[in-house]
C-alpha cells in the first residue's frame, strides 16, 4: 500500500479582518503562497484555524476557498473536530457533498476524559462513516490521547483509517505506535513543530505543521532532508525552526505565528479572539526581528503600541 499523504501538511490559520470577518483575499493569497513554497497538503478547519470560532457555513466556505486556490497542486485534509458524533457526521456529510476534500481528520472528544474503550468506539464510528480516508489527530490538549494499543486496534479493524498526526509531544508514545503499526503502510505524521524532523527520522512520512503557516520553506526543508535520510541536515533545519518557535511561543496562541507572517508572506494577520489574545509584546517582536535578520529575512521597523504599555508585565498566557 502506498502512502496517501506525505510531506508538509500546512495547518492553515483562518485570517480575520479588524471587524472579525474572514479576510478572504488574505486567505486565498496565503494558500497560493503556500503552494508555491512546496507544501504537499492543507489541514483545513483545524484548531489553529480557529474551528471553534467558525460557524458551520464558514467552515464550508473556508474549504471552498482553499480548494479553488489549490486546484490539483496539493491535497486537502478537512478537519471535523465537533463536540459529538452527530455533529461530526453532519460536518463530514457537508464536506462530502462538496467533493472538495481528499481526506478527513478527526480527534478525541473534548471536555470529559474518555476511557480507551469509549474512545475506540467514538473513532471507529466516524472512521467507518466517512467515505474518504480518515486521519486521527492525537492532540495533547484534548481530554485523552489515543493509546498505542487503541490506535493499533483501530488500524487492524477499520481499513479506512489511513494515518495519524501525533501531537502527543511524547516521542516514546510515537515509537510505541510505530512498533505496533507498519509505517510502510500507514501515514504517520509529525504533529509537534518542536521535533517534526525527529519524528520523520523515526518513521513519519511528513508532518502537520502550524509553523509552516509563516515558515513553509523551512518546514519543507526539514521534512525533505529527513525523508532523504540526511539526519544531520534534518536536525540542523529543525533547530533553525526551533529557534523561531521558541520566540513565537512567548506569545498567546496564535498571536506570534500571525505576526510572523509579515516576514515570509509580507503581512501579518489576526485571530477572532480579541486584541489582547493577538498581542505580541514589543520585546518579543524585537527578538523575533533580530533572529529574522540573522536568518536572511528583511528586518521590520518595530514600534511600541499603546497595548504594549497597557499589557506590560502581563504574561499569564504561558
Tens of pLDDT along 127-161?
999 999 999 999 878 879 999 999 999 999 999 99
The lowest-confidence range among 67-71, 255-259, 311-315 is 311-315
> Domain for residue 157, yes or no?
yes
Burial of 255 (0-12, 13-18, 19+ CB in 10 A): buried
Can you read off the three cell numbers belonging to residue 12?
Answer: 492553515
Buried b / exposed e across 147-170, counting CB within 10 Å, b at 16+? bbebbbbbbeebebbbbbbbbbee
Domain span at residue 77 reads 7-229
List of E strands, the chain = 7-11, 41-44, 75-79, 103-107, 134-139, 161-167, 187-190, 206-209
**Looking at the structure, do residues 158 and 33 belong to the same domain, yes or no?**
yes
pLDDT band at 316 (very low <50, low <70, confident <90, very high): low
Does residue 191 surpass a pLDDT of 70? yes
What is the pLDDT of the chain when averaged over all its residues? 95
**Looking at the structure, do residues 31 and 149 belong to the same domain, yes or no?**
yes
Helix then strand then coil, in percent of the chain rounded to 5, is: 45, 15, 40
**Looking at the structure, do residues 12 and 123 belong to the same domain, yes or no?**
yes
Q: What is the DSSP string of 300-317?
A: ------HHHHHHTT--TT
Average pLDDT of 86-102? 99
Does residue 124 surpass a pLDDT of 60? yes
**Looking at the structure, do residues 160 and 88 belong to the same domain, yes or no?**
yes
Average pLDDT of 180-202? 96
Residues identified as active-site:
137, 165
Number of Cα atoms under 13 Å in the Cβ half of residue 201:
18
> Domain for residue 298, yes or no?
yes
Which is more confident, 130 or 313? 130
Can you read off the three cell numbers belonging to residue 13?
Answer: 490559520
> Domain for residue 62, yes or no?
yes
Task: State the Cα torsion 46-66-199-250 to the nearest 10°.
Answer: -60
pLDDT band at 317 (very low <50, low <70, confident <90, very high): low
> Domain for residue 235, yes or no?
no
State pTM to two decimals.
Answer: 0.96
> Domain for residue 114, yes or no?
yes
What's the Cα-to-Cα distance from 94 to each of 67, 72, 99, 109, 130, rounded to whole Å? 15, 21, 9, 20, 11
Does residue 318 surpass a pLDDT of 60? no
Res 143: pLDDT: 79
Res 255: pLDDT: 95
The CATH number covering residue 134 comes to: 3.20.20.70
Contact 52, 79 (CB under 8 A): no
Q: How do residues 273-301 score in pLDDT, each as one tens digit?
A: 999 999 999 999 999 999 999 999 999 99
Res 110: pLDDT: 87
Can you read off the three cell numbers belonging to residue 7?
Answer: 510531506
What's the Cα-to-Cα distance from 156 to each of 124, 138, 182, 186, rounded to whole Å? 11, 18, 11, 11
| Domains in the chain, number | 2
Q: Could you tell me which of 204, 242, 210 has the C-alpha nearest to residue 223?
A: 204
Name residue, grid cell 483545524: 46
**Does 8 carry a binding-site annotation?**
no
Amino acid at each position: 500500500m502506498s502512502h496517501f499523504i506525505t510531506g508538509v501538511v500546512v495547518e492553515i490559520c483562518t485570517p480575520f479582518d479588524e471587524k472579525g470577518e474572514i479576510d478572504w483575499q488574505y486567505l486565498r493569497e496565503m494558500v497560493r503562497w503556500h503552494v508555491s513554497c512546496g507544501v504537499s497538503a492543507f489541514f483545513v478547519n483545524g484548531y489553529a484555524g480557529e474551528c471553534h470560532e467558525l460557524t458551520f457555513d464558514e467552515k464550508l466556505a473556508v474549504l471552498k476557498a482553499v480548494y479553488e486556490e489549490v486546484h490539483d497542486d496539493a491535497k486537502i485534509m478537512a478537519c471535523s473536530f465537533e463536540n459529538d458524533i452527530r455533529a461530526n457526521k453532519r460536518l463530514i456529510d457537508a464536506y462530502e457533498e462538496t467533493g472538495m476534500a481528499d481526506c478527513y481528520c478527526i480527534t478525541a472528544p473534548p471536555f470529559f476524559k474518555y476511557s480507551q474503550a469509549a474512545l475506540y468506539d467514538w473513532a471507529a464510528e466516524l472512521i467507518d462513516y466517512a467515505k474518504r480516508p480518515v486521519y486521527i489527530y492525537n492532540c495533547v490538549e484534548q481530554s485523552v490521547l489515543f493509546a498505542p494499543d487503541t490506535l493499533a486496534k483501530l488500524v487492524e479493524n477499520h481499513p479506512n483509517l489511513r494515518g495519524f498526526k501525533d501531537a502527543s509531544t511524547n516521542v516514546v508514545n510515537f515509537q510505541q505506535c510505530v512498533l505496533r503499526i507498519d509505517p510502510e503502510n500507514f501515514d504517520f505524521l509529525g504533529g509537534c513543530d518542536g521535533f517534526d524532523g525527529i519524528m520523520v527520522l523515526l518513521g513519519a512520512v511528513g508532518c502537520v505543521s502550524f509553523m509552516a503557516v509563516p515558515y513553509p520553506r523551512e518546514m519543507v526543508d526539514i521534512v525533505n532532508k529527513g525523508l532523504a535520510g540526511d539526519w544531520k541536515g534534518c536536525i540542523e533545519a529543525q533547530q533553525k525552526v526551533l529557534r523561531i518557535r521558541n520566540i513565537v511561543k512567548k506569545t498567546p496562541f496564535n498571536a506570534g505565528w500571525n505576526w510572523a507572517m509579515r516576514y515570509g508572506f509580507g503581512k501579518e494577520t489576526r485571530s477572532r479572539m480579541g486584541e489582547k489574545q493577538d498581542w505580541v509584546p514589543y520585546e518579543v517582536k524585537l527578538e523575533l526581528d533580530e533572529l529574522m535578520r540573522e536568518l536572511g529575512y528583511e528586518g521590520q521597523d518595530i514600534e511600541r503600541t499603546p497595548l504594549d504599555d497597557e499589557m506590560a508585565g502581563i504574561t499569564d498566557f504561558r
